[in-house]
Structure 1
Amino acid sequence: MIRGIRGATTVENDKEEEILLKTKELLGEMVKENSIHLDDIASIFISATPDLKEVFPAKALRKMEGWTYVPVVCMQELDIQGAIKKCIRVMMHVNTSQKPEAIIHVYQERAVSLRPDLKK
């Protein structure tokens, strides 16, 4: 069965190096916390808020060893008044037998405020 694993992080600056580092850290923690094997990843959607313009966050994935064939798409997050700024969100679609309540969603930096109900 395919299940979605959510994750989000924020950056302080719209700088390529920082965006790529934080995205890589987020993806790594999502994989680690859920014991994911790369072959089990069906696809990944990555969105960024409109104030991040220096680089596609998905570029981080392309620099990670073994991730060459993981399908990924980047998109812009909705520009909602009062929403968290400089935020990168990930939806990872994974083949797993885990129950929905066993999935560990990962929120880092200021993004921890997005889903406090999912904090483990």
Structure 2
Amino acid sequence: MSVRAVRGATQLTDDTREQMLERVAEMVTEVMAANQLEVDDFISVIFTATSDLVAEFPAYAARSLGFGEVPLICARELEIDGSMPRVVRMMAHVETDRARAEITHVYLHGAAALRSDLTKVRSMPDE
């Protein structure tokens, strides 16, 4: 069993608590499905959010998915001129038998444009 890092990102259309919980839960469950992971496979998760997102902590959405015993932390994304607004990113450390090249990183909604070089893009239509 190896430790691997799995990346994900999603973009919100509005800074609301409901959309934060919905989009982060979607991102986490897509990462899990794409990499055949269970909650027990997660060692820790770091969430970052751009400074224009203040309605809710991204980690709260993961807690509601059963991540109560997984260490989670939220941080601010760097404020770089021209960067994409309303983005939540995650980097999860997991235990898996998958090789590094077999890890699927998941970028949803507008965030799919961030790292097309790194991911098998799972683009979702915005509501």
Q: Which residue does the alignment assign to 1:13? A: 14
Aligned positions, number: 119
What is the letter of the counterpart of residue 19 of structure 1?
M
Distance 1:119 1:72 in 2: 23
Distance 1:57 1:87 in 2: 11
Distance 1:37 1:63 in 2: 14
User: TM-score scaled by structure 2?
Assistant: 0.90
- 4+ residue runs over 2 A deviation: none
Deviations 1:30-88 (A, max 9, x none): 00110012111000000000000111111101111x32111100001001111110000
Q: Which residue does the alignment assign to 2:47? A: 46
Note the residue ranges of structure 1 that are not aligned, 5 or more in a row: none
Q: Which structure is higher in RCO with an 8 Å CA cutoff and minimum separation 6?
A: 1
Distance 1:2 1:44 in 2: 13
Quick check: 1:55 aligned with 2:45? no
Q: Which residue does the alignment assign to 1:29? A: 30
1:1-120 aligned at under 5 Å gives the runs 1-64=2-65, 66-120=66-120
Distance 1:16 1:81 in 2: 25
Q: Which residue does the alignment assign to 2:123? A: none
Pairwise CA distance, 1:5: 0.2
Distance 2:64 2:116 in 1: 31
Q: Name the % identity.
A: 39
> Aligned Cα RMSD in Å?
0.9
Query: For 2:58, what is the secondary structure of its paired residue?
Result: coil
What is the letter of the counterpart of residue 30 of structure 1?
V
User: TM-score scaled by structure 1?
Assistant: 0.95
